[in-house]
Structure 1
């Protein structure tokens, strides 16, 4: 409906009804004199309630006044500049939180039991507080709070009894050369089957063992020293670090592999056998010694008593002469 406003301009009058606020009349005057054919209506409306100004002791709530645009049977909140400020209604007021502010006991959480096994005590914080109108709390003297003060101590039972953790012997170190780990089994012997995990012994620890860093390394066997009959073979035997390859002296002497071994290539013919020396003097007279030919084998040939064989005597004449010289000296 339309009526002539005191401003002598055509005004829109809207009958606005809301269950929360009652019936209100809102008057708006268009700010734009040249409007489209599809005219919009701009009204002030009470859209919602604000929170109470206090938490206790009596406060008030106010309605939120918003500018609304009505178009095509729809309403939307828009900027307040579209509605006339002089027509803006005052917010409605309601009393709220009228209950008086009061003193009360404030209790904290119970702390841990004083002992982990058996009967103990646990405590908590209990204070008297006063509620301010803004909802905050302040500590005050206990005498202002009514009723008995809640207990600050109570009995408790510790269930984590420390009935000895039982640990087995440490296992062998996982590495016999350098760093490794060794392990053991740890079990709880408490009859309840519950032990304090904070006191549990470790089940795995680092370890270091260098007892087997060095080991004997061997080379390939050489060819047999003789093409027929008995002979010897040799190879290189060294004590070496298994990781770095460095030479050392920490290998077990009792586990040292042999450096020499006998070899055999069948029986020699008669011509060779004729050369067997029956007298050291005969060897000295019939063979001109030019020195040892096999310095590696000669010592072993002398120790194995092989100098009496002419073949060995020829290759190791110097060593064998020394051997027979000592032998004859001992006889005299």
Structure 2
């Protein structure tokens, strides 16, 4: 079986006796024959304050609007047990609650039940003693989880003897492994139950000291010691009792002080493999017992009075000035019984050290006082309202206070029971503008208008201050009727395409819908014939005219300083859009534009000059060339003002071709400059290259043989 546990899944195989807890991020598959049971799991202890799972799930709704506004949600647990696995939340400071989800997250603790019960799948499952949720396994009387009380047997008995001497009398040995131990006086008596360990050390009421009721550790378990309280008249008084769940790990001894007049009933469960060790002791004839509690004495043989005893010291101040306070002893001292002097605590029996007891003091009643409850909710949700609270006249008696008649507080000034409140300003929606024009010229479109939240004082506030359900529409659809297509065109161009003679005028023609959409370049969607885009025009007969034509200016003839620029000037004849070059005499009557003009390129700066490269220092095998580099001014004087980053190189490598290899045969030499490439291309296998590059091919063959 597989069930979710929060962000994890618990898988238990009953047949193979294994159990795993996987995160939900894993992709799992299981055999249908396996069965799964749910168990609690803790991956690690969370740091910081404890996290309330229900509070976390309720707080997730803090950002979601409920009934038009936001609330801070907290868990609400005052529901029936059948609804404790639903997520019920209440707004902080309000009196209503809401079921936010049909079920809480799996693994969330239940309420109104034990602390280990959790909700899974909307149901509250109880953890069994085997750690499995909903298994119903409990610990039996033998201390075995899920057992059937088959590994132990019940031992019962009673002790009643009226002829035992004064003092401590052993009545039972409690064996190791005993469970569900219960020793009870049948009725109240002046006697005490006492217990010692197997080594004789006192556990409860030993060494003539009476211990207060409470829990005491002994034999690997916890014994609860109770003492009877005064009962109402006509009710039977109960006696003392000692009880422990067990199992015990060592043998313990049960005693009673003086004779047990009303008898002592005991029962326990012991393991079947362990033999019973308890035996009621035989009585010794010694007259009648005394029906009184045993005062400290030194003439009784069972126990010898120790020389060092515990004694209470001084008292603290009263915890209250009225209405019954409490005082306690500042300390418990270890005293030498013979000298009454304080000695180190290690000399006294630590098991017999009395617990500090508190005593009542200043029991007279305290003066009355007014007590105010919490303020109620504001009477209105917005604007000025009123809050109220209840006032009670109270008076302390003992360690609690109670409500008394208001007349007792008549002399006191009561607190205010009402006060003004204002949760927020009242606000409403206001339409700030008319509807806009429709977003289209035809068909369906949208139109908008301004809607804002305005306070009763007239100021614009956040939209959250108004009820969102009452907000007027800010946008709506609009229908401008069916869209129709038609031809649209511009005006004719202002000028003819030719300055003289025949030409054309143009305009742009498009097919559009009434909404502005273009319906195709060819106008196929327009039903009527497309209007003309061009028409003929005539600017009149063409008359030849002559004019000077100037070309663009050339660049300045100097890089710096003053220089000149030139351009070509020719005489042309224009007929319409055609130009013809004619003799310059035809333009003699016109002013000729200048063909030369001065230009200024700015002040000349020093620049780098170089000599020619020298001859290479080597004819092969990478040589070196050098040249002189100087910085000169425009008047050819040495200068240091040139830009060092643009300085030309003074040296360069040359003749990088490897020199011909040395071979024994003087006639075997390289006759070509590219013999290195011949070797790299493996052309030495051909007779031509082998002869032309004899030295390189021979040396390559020798290297191949060595390798």
Q: Give TM-score scaled by structure 2 length.
A: 0.19
Q: Indicate the structure with greater helix content.
A: 1
Q: Give TM-score scaled by structure 1 length.
A: 0.36
The structure showing larger relative contact order (alpha-carbon pairs under 8 Å, at least 6 residues apart) is 1
